Structure 1
Amino acid sequence: MYIFNRLTVVPKLPERIKGIQEIAENLWWCWNTESLKLFKKIDKELWERLEKNPIKFLKQISQTKLEEVAKDEEFLREYNKVYSDFKGYMENNNTYYMNNYEKYKNKCIAYFSAEYGLDETMPLYSGGLGILSGDHLKSASDLGIPLVGVGLMYKEGYFNQKIDGRGNQLTLFAKSDLDNMPIKKVKDEKGRDLAIYITIENTKVMLKVWVINVGRVKLYLLDSDTEENSSKYRELSYRLYGGGREMRLMQEMILGIGGVKLLKALNIVPNLYHMNEGHSAFLIIELIEQIMKEKQVSFEIAKEFVKTMTAVTVHTPVPAGNEIFDIDLIEKMFDGKWDDLGISKDTFLSLGMTPNDNYKKAFNMGVFALKIAGKKNGVSKLHRRCF
């Protein structure tokens, strides 16, 4: 038997409750308990079985159920309240930020993180780092802070853990079904899929872009899994913290360098680039290079510019908790970049080194970010003793 195409028939939302689709397409619902109750009230058994995924739920709910709740007065009262709250939230300018920092209303913060813990239906996180960055976006939305998030689109995310009969850990990966996630492709001004290009190993790698609405905040995710790329580069968008050191380094090049290029393509001009850990620190290289070209200044002057527009949050000062790459690998991936920047190879490599690292031949992403970023903080006050 040959399957030539697949046709999915979805129910049609009654006009009276069509706003529920709008709610499902914005992750606002994941931290609004009343909206979660609303979906559950339509069909509790299906809601639980589909692991509380609104997009998937609205595709599989029966037409009969939808017609029933569209005539249920109690449900409609709850729907009216939730939808009104959602619209009010999205359109309200009476936010903490506007009430206290209105003079900065046209400013913009770009927040970079390797993972985002937004909801279980979005497997883009592994642990505390992702939960913090996810909560950061939600809080920024609630406070009305003009912020955009930048990350990577992982098709398989982080692994699911299971234990076999002998007590051994089994590592299981499941490919995400993008059709059942509140995510959309970003288009260019001509309606085509937006394409961002970066150079890795002297090879041009194409990145497509996805966007997720997290309340009032947009999260942009870069994706190398395109037909234009070879399998080696397509796999960079498969797994969070997957593969070897080379894959990890290339992922971080996409996040940092590709992220800055993405914002420029979207005509978003951040006043501050906030790095959640050192994973995205290569954004510094791209910013320096852009400023050198635009302002016709030297590397050192451009570096001082970048210092005024960058911040980094460190999650642990312990060496084992920071991203470190062999110098040989950095040289391979950035071969010739020091020439573009008008500096020596040793100067370039020293950006990620401490005196001890010169002996170890290691490039430390945390050190790199801390050396350049003008603002530095940690998730614990104890970290200050280590800076």
Structure 2
Amino acid sequence: MSITLPTPSATDSGDSKFPEAQAIYQKLWSLATNLWWSWHPECDQLFREIDPIRWRQLDHNPVALLREMTPDQVAQRATELVLQSRINYLYRRLQEYMADTQTWGATNAGVLGAKPVAYFSAEFGIHESIPIYSGGLGVLAGDHIKSASGLGVPLVAVGLFYSQGYFRQYLDETGMQGEDYLNTKIEDLPMDPAVGADGQPVMVRIDTRHGSLLAKVWMMQVGRVRLFLLDCNVDGNSPEERELTSRLYGGDIRTRIRQELVLGVGGVRALAALGIHPGAYHLNEGHSAFGALEVVRQRMHDDGLSFEEAARQTSRMSCFTTHTPVPAGHDRFTADLIEEHLGPLRDSLGISHDQLMALGRVDGNNPEETFCMTVLGLKMSHYANAVSNLHGVISRRMWSCMWPDRPEEEVPIGHITNGVHVHSWLAQQMWKLYDKHFPVNWARNVQSPEIWASIHNVDPGELWETHNALKNNLLTFVRRRLSRQSRRRGESDAVIEAARNALDPNILTIGFGRRFATYKRANLLFQEMDRIAELISNTDRPVQFIYAGKAHPKDEPGKRFIKEIANLRHDPRFAGRVAFIEDYDINVCRHLIQGVDVWLNNPRRPLEASGTSGQKVVLNGGLNCSILDGWWAEAFNGDNGFAIGHGTSHVNDAITDQRDAEALYYTLANEVIPCYYDRDYDGLPKAWIRKMMHSISTLAWRFSSHRMVADYSKHSYLWAAGGVTCDMRYS
């Protein structure tokens, strides 16, 4: 990214009179405008020290922080805190990182250097200061491009810029969720207009039957990866159209298809305008599947191909990832909406309306069937995958109707299990512990099992002490949030004081943080109130719980789950032992997964495609207690955490819920709690610490996004780009 210093109107100052001050400021600006800083804790600490109060108030946004200060003010602060050498060191590290050509990608995915992967996603969760994500899908996409950067896999990413992002959550006096939408200050974000070969900002146009949509293109630098974001708030669009990309997952079905048109068709056109010629297209979920049709159009226009041949070649260079076994998670559109928005593109493709609709139908000859984006993605992609082993089984069963002549086991949907970006989610204290005991440069090889086996060289007491320090950090954060929530609601001084003293660092602490969709069963723990109250209030071995998560604004059952749990603070049996933290985001998640003793996950099997929050917990020494669904079904080995139930479900959901609740109570009372409180003469829970070490050594490397992106590269990207040196399938 180019270094564009704030204008005088932004900082009330021009260039500094002192070259040294300007040099310091410019180096900090270089760090702030490449999101590489966000997964390097030394950078976070550096910006925090410049102004700790504003750093917290600005959602840890270094661009916003620097824009509030003049170069001279920054230089003065750097002198007072003796920061110059650290600034120089981190600036040099960034330059070396960007210039490094000795990467995994250079060795193993060299063909992509000339024709990179184009990775499309409706959301990207990179950092809390960039609010263009809602939850797991976006955070996974953010981790994906960070690991592509770390591995040196040539990749560009495409998404939408949401000026209001996803909503900010608050709970009212009754415990009911409310939603606020806040406008993001573009000038406070690390992005510039993307420019084409002519040096002019790129603008794309998408024709519909009722007019045209325009979108400008922004560019963010995420390490070595460029992230392009399309934004419809431009002159030439109607007021309604200018709001089209303002909110993530907002609006009605018409808004949804128009957003997906901009993402898919507009995204492919933006890459062409930027002179980027991908060797592979990765469609992360069905939201961007219209893009495959635009690739077909371009091949027909540029190379004179027929629709059938262009579609065949596009399929061979396309990868599609499906993320949900829940039917409501697959977007469907009526024939009239498809014709209104895809009609002009259909004309260019030279196909009929029925032919276009057939691409999005399981049964292309069924005029009653709506157009499904997942079906389009599967039909237009030669390489398709689910996101865990079990999800692969479910997806092949779910979509076997598209291949009626094949047995279910031969349906062409594989799986690449999700992983998490180690460098983003690992607490700084744990990083220092690993630096001390792991091989040199361990952080460059986080997908290597040999690296993580080094955890067994750590003294149990040192690991436990580090974990308890993180737990104390978490409880400090939670108390601050709880008291702030109480003050906002105008509650009494006594209630605020109780919030400041909630939870106990000596008590087993269990966390639950995720989207409050009903199938995730956030309230499963509270099916028998007296029973869980007995566990929580046990005088010798008590338990406490921290909950966080958002329900979609239209998900009333999910909102009721939140209300039910949040209002337990009024019940004397649970007061001070069950907390609900508002406005779950990357920052809240980071605190939770770094500090809890146990991470609870109890979805209704098999509806959790993968799940990644528990993988983040592993890195920091927490243990998982989960239904055997998603990633945990292939991860649990009996010694690296706790399982709820035996990996089965009843055909009757009510019976499944009752049975799983019973299994949860049993696991807590007979496995988790005794293991945690069983201490030796030094006060150490030796059996618990052994589980911590076993969890880290067996899971951290397997469920890292570095391993995940390497798998995509070897099994999808290289094949799609024609970069495989041996293929004997046809012999």
Q: Normalising by the residue count of structure 1, what TM-score does the alignment of the two structures yield?
A: 0.93
* Letter of the structure 2 residue corresponding to residue 194 of structure 1: V
Equivalent residue number for residue 3 of structure 1: none
1:330-375 Cα shifts (integer Å, max 9, x gaps)? 1222235444322222121011111399375311101110112011
| Mapped partners of 2:251, 2:111: distance in 1 | 46
* Letter of the structure 2 residue corresponding to residue 358 of structure 1: N
Deviation at residue 191 of structure 1 after TM alignment: 4.0
Q: Does 1:77 align with 2:85?
A: yes
| Mapped partners of 1:268, 1:127: distance in 2 | 29
Equivalent residue number for residue 34 of structure 1: 42
Deviation at residue 273 of structure 1 after TM alignment: 0.6
Partner SS, residue 236 of structure 1? coil
Q: Is the 8 A contact 1:222 1:255 kept in 2?
A: yes
* Letter of the structure 2 residue corresponding to residue 8 of structure 1: A
Q: Kindly tell me: are residues 219 and 103 of structure 1, through their superposed partners in 2, closer, same or farther at Cα, counting changes over 3 Å?
A: closer
Equivalent residue number for residue 30 of structure 2: 22
1:281-309 Cα shifts (integer Å, max 9, x gaps)? 00111111111222222211111011111
Equivalent residue number for residue 163 of structure 2: 155
Q: Kindly tell me: are residues 246 and 73 of structure 1, through their superposed partners in 2, closer, same or farther at Cα, counting changes over 3 Å?
A: closer
Equivalent residue number for residue 331 of structure 1: 339
Q: Is the 8 A contact 2:319 2:383 kept in 1?
A: yes
Partner SS, residue 270 of structure 1? coil
Q: Kindly tell me: are residues 205 and 339 of structure 1, through their superposed partners in 2, closer, same or farther at Cα, counting changes over 3 Å?
A: closer
| Mapped partners of 2:380, 2:331: distance in 1 | 16
| Mapped partners of 1:99, 1:356: distance in 2 | 43
1:245-265 Cα shifts (integer Å, max 9, x gaps)? 001000100010011111111
| Mapped partners of 2:111, 2:234: distance in 1 | 42
Deviation at residue 95 of structure 1 after TM alignment: 1.0
Equivalent residue number for residue 287 of structure 2: 279
1:75-128 Cα shifts (integer Å, max 9, x gaps)? 223222212211111111111111333354323100000000011111100111
* Equivalent residue runs for 1:192-231 within 5 Å: 192-231=200-239
Moved more, 75-84 or 234-243: 75-84
Kindly report the root-mean-square deviation, in angstroms, between the aligned alpha carbons of the 2 structures.
2.1
Q: Kindly tell me: are residues 308 and 170 of structure 1, through their superposed partners in 2, closer, same or farther at Cα, counting changes over 3 Å?
A: same
| Mapped partners of 2:372, 2:111: distance in 1 | 38
Q: Is the 8 A contact 1:352 1:364 kept in 2?
A: yes
Deviation at residue 16 of structure 1 after TM alignment: 4.8
| Mapped partners of 1:51, 1:360: distance in 2 | 48
* Letter of the structure 1 residue corresponding to residue 141 of structure 2: S
Q: Kindly tell me: are residues 318 and 106 of structure 1, through their superposed partners in 2, closer, same or farther at Cα, counting changes over 3 Å?
A: same
Q: Does 1:128 align with 2:130?
A: no
Partner SS, residue 321 of structure 2? strand
| Mapped partners of 1:78, 1:62: distance in 2 | 20
Q: Does 1:171 align with 2:179?
A: yes
* Letter of the structure 2 residue corresponding to residue 133 of structure 1: A
Q: Kindly tell me: are residues 266 and 297 of structure 1, through their superposed partners in 2, closer, same or farther at Cα, counting changes over 3 Å?
A: same
Q: Kindly tell me: are residues 342 and 162 of structure 1, through their superposed partners in 2, closer, same or farther at Cα, counting changes over 3 Å?
A: same
Deviation at residue 68 of structure 1 after TM alignment: 3.0
| Mapped partners of 1:261, 1:62: distance in 2 | 39
Partner SS, residue 237 of structure 1? coil
Q: Does 1:244 align with 2:252?
A: yes
Q: Kindly tell me: are residues 167 and 88 of structure 1, through their superposed partners in 2, closer, same or farther at Cα, counting changes over 3 Å?
A: same
| Mapped partners of 1:120, 1:282: distance in 2 | 29
Deviation at residue 231 of structure 1 after TM alignment: 1.3
* Letter of the structure 2 residue corresponding to residue 196 of structure 1: V
* Equivalent residue runs for 1:1-387 within 5 Å: 7-10=9-12, 12=16, 14-17=21-24, 18-61=26-69, 65-71=73-79, 74-335=82-343, 337-355=345-363, 358=366, 360-385=368-393, 386-387=395-396
Q: Kindly tell me: are residues 164 and 353 of structure 1, through their superposed partners in 2, closer, same or farther at Cα, counting changes over 3 Å?
A: same
Q: Kindly tell me: are residues 10 and 111 of structure 1, through their superposed partners in 2, closer, same or farther at Cα, counting changes over 3 Å?
A: farther
Q: Is the 8 A contact 2:119 2:284 kept in 1?
A: yes
Deviation at residue 162 of structure 1 after TM alignment: 1.1
Unmatched tracts of structure 2, length 5 or more: 1-7, 397-731
| Mapped partners of 1:295, 1:62: distance in 2 | 53
| Mapped partners of 1:232, 1:245: distance in 2 | 14
Q: Is the 8 A contact 1:46 1:61 kept in 2?
A: no
| Mapped partners of 1:334, 1:15: distance in 2 | 51
Q: Kindly tell me: are residues 364 and 357 of structure 1, through their superposed partners in 2, closer, same or farther at Cα, counting changes over 3 Å?
A: farther
| Mapped partners of 1:43, 1:128: distance in 2 | 31
Unmatched tracts of structure 1, length 5 or more: 1-5
Q: Is the 8 A contact 1:195 1:206 kept in 2?
A: yes
| Mapped partners of 1:90, 1:188: distance in 2 | 22
Q: Is the 8 A contact 1:114 1:280 kept in 2?
A: yes
> After TM superposition, what 4+ stretches of structure 1 lie above 6 angstroms from structure 2?
none
Q: Is the 8 A contact 1:352 1:365 kept in 2?
A: yes
Q: Is the 8 A contact 1:255 1:280 kept in 2?
A: yes
Q: Is the 8 A contact 1:10 1:59 kept in 2?
A: no
Could you say which structure has the larger radius of gyration?
Answer: 2
Moved more, 133-142 or 334-343: 334-343
Q: Which has the larger strand fraction? A: 1
Moved more, 336-345 or 28-37: 336-345
Moved more, 303-312 or 48-57: 48-57
| Mapped partners of 1:16, 1:290: distance in 2 | 46
Identity across aligned pairs (percent)?
39
Aligned residue pairs: how many? 382
Q: Kindly tell me: are residues 190 and 104 of structure 1, through their superposed partners in 2, closer, same or farther at Cα, counting changes over 3 Å?
A: closer
* Letter of the structure 2 residue corresponding to residue 21 of structure 1: W
* Letter of the structure 1 residue corresponding to residue 392 of structure 2: R
